[in-house]
Chain A
């Protein structure tokens, strides 16, 4: 069914690019709900171009202030010693393209449009200690490395697949993808130049029971604590009563 809908949309897109737009793109969904069975989700991005070209998709999660810490050995054990805060770090960042980014666009263009984790630029928070350039590079690299390990940052070259003028790719959102507003930016390039681009929003929100629990914990922490205690007392009492009979 989903395939059928997508095919119909593709046909529509195909005809609309013929009508003048160089790039038309859409996604299978614009919102993701985190419910109790959430284990991550793939979103299908598809579209059409007006001729042979390259497609780069950049997905950015909500921006956050992020504290990164470096461990050092103190008396035989490893403990956090230095800590640095960066501003505007995307909580999630993914790049998909039809072939290696280096072959698609010049370094200047990739830097300008932040195509690739290496081109992300996180500013230091004002209250951060002063760092040498090497330290700054080391901390920035560590953010990329940690985020990649958590599956929150990735670059998948050759994941955008073309069939004539139609293209499609799937964007992976892991179970630990943070809540918030995401942007999905699709670039159409030809001969290393951006011909057209499209941006669409995507939101990830906790829903259902997960939403209720999370909101209660943060908006009414005292009530949440009392409820947690009451549930525990009641289930403890129930357990004792249930096993007393046997």
Chain B
């Protein structure tokens, strides 16, 4: 059954869209990741214009993170104060990102920039995941695993300190605002929640306790991706609500199965698997950038007379 998507302006098979939502949802349930960094490239691979893929995926992540944050909220694992500081940076970053996105679209470089940022981030993250999981697998065989002692971070010397009770931190607001800004920028350009940057940054850069990291990250992602949705709607009219709803329907169901399935695999093996998937998507993007395209010419935007 085909459905015509009014903003993407193309007709796609409903079951393909649902299956993609389901597949990425399954992986996100399995690995506990957002999935935006896989969904946006997949949408591009099936022919959705890259700009529409990014904006629509941002809209879908609003729903996915709203759904995910509830459980963490109930367990009290959301540091609202830290979340709002991150959102402050995130709003500025994602708004700037949306205007940058518009500019890049006008000069015909948005597709390239989207692909390149994905190649860089998927490449780095996939490699790190793979290395770390292989190291963990080897270590667990040897049976030695030492936890790092608490360190003093360079960030502790900065001004504008604020107390974050839930995270048991007394740190400057500058690092979280900068982290929020950077992740917001990525959210606008890549159509991702940015959890894959945010979570490591929270743990290693801000020194937040791991228990509140996921809930707080999801909390701020809702606001930042909502802001991305809003500004992409205004600047480029690239949010396809219909596509977002269908992807979401698939993702919700897939995530439930993924979460149930995750108990059967070991953490480090899971992470190695995700690393391989991420690198495969990255490789496909590289191939498309490096190999000579079938046609060097392409039609850009058109304006009716």
Q: Which residues of A contact B (CB under 8 A)?
A: 34-40, 62-73, 76-80, 83, 87-89, 91, 139, 142-143, 145-147, 149, 175-176, 178, 180, 206, 209-211, 213-214, 217-218, 221-222, 224-229, 231-233, 235-237, 239-240, 243, 246
Distance in angstroms between the alpha carbons of A246 and B257 in the assembled complex: 12
Contact between B233 and A217 (Cβ–Cβ < 8 Å)?
A: yes
Q: Which residues of A contact B149 (CB under 8 A)?
A: none
Contact between A77 and B290 (Cβ–Cβ < 8 Å)?
A: yes
Q: Which residues of A contact B162 (CB under 8 A)?
A: none
Contact between A146 and B305 (Cβ–Cβ < 8 Å)?
A: no
Q: Which residues of B contact A80 (CB under 8 A)?
A: 108-109, 112, 298, 300
Closest 9 CB pairs of A and B: A236-B66, A225-B233, A142-B297, A236-B63, A67-B300, A232-B62, A236-B67, A232-B63, A175-B11
User: Which chain A residue shows the least CB distance to B241?
Assistant: A228
Q: Closest CB of chain A to B256's CB: distance in Å? A: 5
Which listed residue (A39, A78, A211, A243) contacts B11, Cβ 8 A?
A: A39
Binding stretch for chain A, among B128-136, B153-161, B192-200, B244-252: B244-252
Q: Closest CB of chain A to B287's CB: distance in Å? A: 11
Q: Which residues of B contact A231 (CB under 8 A)?
A: 63, 241, 244-245
Binding stretch for chain A, among B1-9, B85-93, B276-284: B1-9
Q: Which residues of A contact B245 (CB under 8 A)?
A: 231, 235
User: Which chain B residue shows the least CB distance to A143?
Assistant: B299
Distance in angstroms between the alpha carbons of A45 and B59 in the assembled complex: 43
Distance in angstroms between the alpha carbons of A34 and B70 in the assembled complex: 39
| Most chain B beta-carbon neighbours within 10 Å: one of A79, A210, A213, A236 | A236
Q: Which residues of B contact A35 (CB under 8 A)?
A: 4
Q: Closest CB of chain A to B264's CB: distance in Å? A: 19
Contact between B289 and A77 (Cβ–Cβ < 8 Å)?
A: yes
Digitize B139-181: 1 where CB-to-A-CB distance is under 8 Å, 0 elsewhere: 0000000000000000000000000000000000000000000
| Most chain B beta-carbon neighbours within 10 Å: one of A38, A67, A145, A218 | A67
Q: Closest CB of chain A to B147's CB: distance in Å? A: 33
Distance in angstroms between the alpha carbons of A79 and B296 in the assembled complex: 9
- Answer whether A229 and B302 are a contact pair too, CB < 8 Å, given A78-B293, A145-B297, A235-B63: no
Q: Does B77 count as interface, using CB distance less than 8 angstroms?
A: no
Contact between B298 and A71 (Cβ–Cβ < 8 Å)?
A: yes
Q: Closest CB of chain B to A222's CB: distance in Å? A: 6
Q: Which residues of B contact A226 (CB under 8 A)?
A: 230
Q: Does B60 count as interface, using CB distance less than 8 angstroms?
A: yes
User: Which chain B residue shows the least CB distance to A83?
Assistant: B108
Contact between A224 and B239 (Cβ–Cβ < 8 Å)?
A: yes
Q: Which residues of A contact B1 (CB under 8 A)?
A: 37
Distance in angstroms between the alpha carbons of A228 and B116 in the assembled complex: 28
User: Which chain A residue shows the least CB distance to B74?
Assistant: A244
Distance in angstroms between the alpha carbons of A69 and B222 in the assembled complex: 36
User: Which chain A residue shows the least CB distance to B230?
Assistant: A225
Q: Which residues of A contact B112 (CB under 8 A)?
A: 77, 79-80
User: Which chain B residue shows the least CB distance to A67?
Assistant: B300
Q: Closest CB of chain B to A36's CB: distance in Å? A: 5
Digitize B61-99: 1 where CB-to-A-CB distance is under 8 Å, 0 elsewhere: 011111110110000000000000000000000000000
Contact between B248 and A232 (Cβ–Cβ < 8 Å)?
A: yes
Which listed residue (B59, B62, B241, B289) contacts A213, Cβ 8 A?
A: B241
Distance in angstroms between the alpha carbons of A68 and B292 in the assembled complex: 18
Distance in angstroms between the alpha carbons of A69 and B60 in the assembled complex: 31
Contact between A65 and B302 (Cβ–Cβ < 8 Å)?
A: yes
Contact between A228 and B244 (Cβ–Cβ < 8 Å)?
A: yes
Q: Does B231 count as interface, using CB distance less than 8 angstroms?
A: yes
Distance in angstroms between the alpha carbons of A149 and B6 in the assembled complex: 21
Q: Closest CB of chain A to B73's CB: distance in Å? A: 10
Contact between A69 and B305 (Cβ–Cβ < 8 Å)?
A: no
Contact between B11 and A217 (Cβ–Cβ < 8 Å)?
A: no
Q: Does B211 count as interface, using CB distance less than 8 angstroms?
A: no
| Most chain A beta-carbon neighbours within 10 Å: one of B10, B66, B291, B292 | B66
Which listed residue (B71, B289, B303) contacts A65, Cβ 8 A?
A: B303
Contact between A146 and B297 (Cβ–Cβ < 8 Å)?
A: yes
Distance in angstroms between the alpha carbons of A65 and B302 in the assembled complex: 5
User: Which chain B residue shows the least CB distance to A73?
Assistant: B292
Distance in angstroms between the alpha carbons of A19 and B211 in the assembled complex: 88
Contact between A69 and B108 (Cβ–Cβ < 8 Å)?
A: yes
Q: Does B242 count as interface, using CB distance less than 8 angstroms?
A: yes
Q: Does B226 count as interface, using CB distance less than 8 angstroms?
A: yes
Contact between A63 and B305 (Cβ–Cβ < 8 Å)?
A: yes
Q: Does B234 count as interface, using CB distance less than 8 angstroms?
A: yes
Which listed residue (A34, A66, A145, A227) contacts B295, Cβ 8 A?
A: A145
Given contacts A36-B4, A66-B300, A178-B304, 8 further A-B contacts (CB under 8 A): A69-B298, A80-B112, A83-B108, A176-B9, A231-B244, A232-B60, A235-B248, A236-B63
